[in-house]
Amino acid sequence: MEVVILPTYEEMSRAAAEVVADQLNTKPNAVLGMATGSTPLGLYQELVRMHREEGLDFTQVTTFNLDEYVGLRPEHRQSYHYFMHENFFKLVNMSPGNIYIPSGTTSNYRSFCDWYERRIKECGGIDVQILGIGSDGHIAFNEPGSSLTSRTRLKTLAKSTIDDNARFFETPSDVPIYAITMGVGTILEARTLLLIASGKNKAQAVAAMIEGPVTSMTTASALQLHPSAIVFLDESAASDLKMRDYYDWVRKKKPDAPQV
């Protein structure tokens, strides 16, 4: 796992956007895994800027979103469909037929989840999966206790996640209790994982993910099992890391390392 600590949220977002842009420059028809939450907003803004000012092209790109709340229609302002369209898809030149987001309103969740998994494979698998992290260490909506081999499925949200996400809803009782989410096993099949985290309220979860044991109690710790995982952090998200000096040292020495 490569751990990159940058002074600010803005620098972190720009560095993460560079990884995505490099992927699109080498493979214009790349498959991207998209995340929601407040953390990736800066990364999406930077990709939109690159599209507008540098011609970064999304016409051949396919995207698969990680998750969606059960019960929210795509036009609901707190749905992840709405979030993605408002904050990213409508601002770049994506082909609408290449956008996949789990349905929160299907009549058959089991068969929808199986279809979603199949569709990812048919599109060649995910090249770069963008991830945030929940304060309980979850990735997507894989709450503590989720199997590290889990696939796309319906999950019951943890109380702490409902509380964390209540800030986006009018009242806490409006927060959906269920979600449909890619599994940890699904996420681990992406060729590169790109996790971003910002702020002191993520510091504990980030330390558990990077320096704790691999455990289903912190599903983000499954990144330790992945051969190509990059974690971008701002200073406050990195503040509980014990090996901080080493990560900085590795980064400083990277330009001089023999080419592999």
Catalytic residues, by residue number, are 67, 136, 138, 143
Q: Measured at the alpha carbon of residue 238, what is the angle toward residues 256 and 243, in degrees to the nearest 5?
A: 60
**Residue 89 sits in the site that holds ligand GLP (CB under 6 A):** no
**Residue 99 sits in the site that holds ligand GLP (CB under 6 A):** no
Q: In this chain, which of 161, 192, 218, 221 binds ligand GLP, going by CB under 6 A?
A: 161
Residue with structure tokens 């770069």?
128
Q: In this chain, which of 33, 134, 137, 176 binds ligand GLP, going by CB under 6 A?
A: 134
Q: Which of 57, 224 has the CB closer to ligand GLP?
A: 224
Q: Which of 27, 147 has the CB closer to ligand GLP?
A: 147
Cα 97 to Cα 30, 123, 184, 245: the distances in Å are 15, 12, 26, 45
Given a contact cutoff of 8 angstroms between Cβ atoms, the answer to whether 128 and 94 are in contact is no
**Residue 127 sits in the site that holds ligand GLP (CB under 6 A):** no
Stretch that binds ligand GLP, among 14-22, 35-43, 185-193, 237-245 (CB under 6 A): 35-43
What is the sign, positive or negative, of the torsion defined by CA atoms of 56, 58, 61, 63?
positive
How many Cβ atoms are within 10 Å of 257's Cβ, its own excluded?
8
Q: How far is the CB of 195 from ligand GLP (least distance, A)?
A: 9
**Residue 67 sits in the site that holds ligand GLP (CB under 6 A):** yes
DSSP symbol at 126:
-
Q: In this chain, which of 16, 35, 184, 238 binds ligand GLP, going by CB under 6 A?
A: 35
**Residue 120 sits in the site that holds ligand GLP (CB under 6 A):** no
**Residue 104 sits in the site that holds ligand GLP (CB under 6 A):** no
SS (H, E, C) 173-225: HHCCCEEEECCHHHHHCCCEEEEEECCHHHHHHHHHHHHCCCECCEHHHHHHH
Site for ligand GLP, rule CB under 6 A: 35-39, 66-67, 132-134, 140-141, 161
